[in-house]
Amino acid sequence: MSRLVAGKLALVTGAGSGIGREVCRVLAREGANVVAADQNVKTAQETVATLEGAEHIALNIHVNDRNSVETAFKDVVKQFSKPPTIIVNSAGITRDNFLAKLSDNDFDDVINVNLKGTFLIMQAAVKAMIEGNATKDSSIINVSSIIATRGNIGQSNYSASKAGVIAMTKSASMEFGQFGIRVNTVLPGFIDTPMTAIVPDKVKEMFIKRIPLQRLGKPQEVAEVIVFLASDRSSYINGTSIEVTGGMN
């Protein structure tokens, strides 16, 4: 049986843990060469050490810094002699507080990583694809959150950043479609990751009661959807958002 993304080059941000790490594993399992990018290169290297196959690298990147992003893409093209044609924007942070108490720095930090970071990666990726004549059957998947559409107490900055990712994805899909580049969003629900590990048990129980499947999601369950969107099996899916929430209401 042929693998979903055999021979393709993929770049995944936030690859050092959680959903990003699992995306790298599923991409490698399905035949891709993976660039595991993270601001913590040590955790990215740990991810690479778990991957099937040999042609994978860890890459240091700060997604909210233009110079870091542009340098990273130049390094990838130089090493592989081609640009990545699968891009997964999974890097994200939270700085939770009630809106009335939220500091400018905590608001700006979340917007800069979650929203601006997605913008900078997409911009650099598409430029590299066009310059490398590698736009056909390319796919960008941006990781948003169900919080973007539902909101959540104490996460006005996070929900705004992730709602912005959805809106930007829709615009990008209209602009890049002419080149053969698809852009979609995945909206995870309450997933068992390091980001949610710090949530108090009582709050977790409250969320689980809102999930018909009565459990947290697994990073692999999100990763499988992302890799489907990266593959040619989703060749007519563009500009849409897919919820991976267990039916959370």
Residues carrying an active site annotation: 158
Question: What three-state secondary structure class fits 154?
Answer: coil
Amino acid letter, residue 68: S
Written in H, E and C, the secondary structure of 206-228 is: HHHHCCCCCCCECHHHHHHHHHH
Using CA atoms, how far residue 60 sits from 15, 77, 95, 115, 143, in Å, is 10, 15, 22, 19, 19
- Contacting residues for 232 by C-beta, under 8 A, at least 6 apart: 4, 137
Q: Which helix (H) or strand (E) is 230 found in, with range?
A: helix 219-230
- Closest by CA to 243, choosing from 213, 199, 200, is 213
Contact 25, 44 (CB under 8 A): no
Distance CA 243, CA 56 (A): 29
* DSSP character at residue 11: E
**Complete DSSP assignment for 118-135:** HHHHHHHHHHHHHHTT--
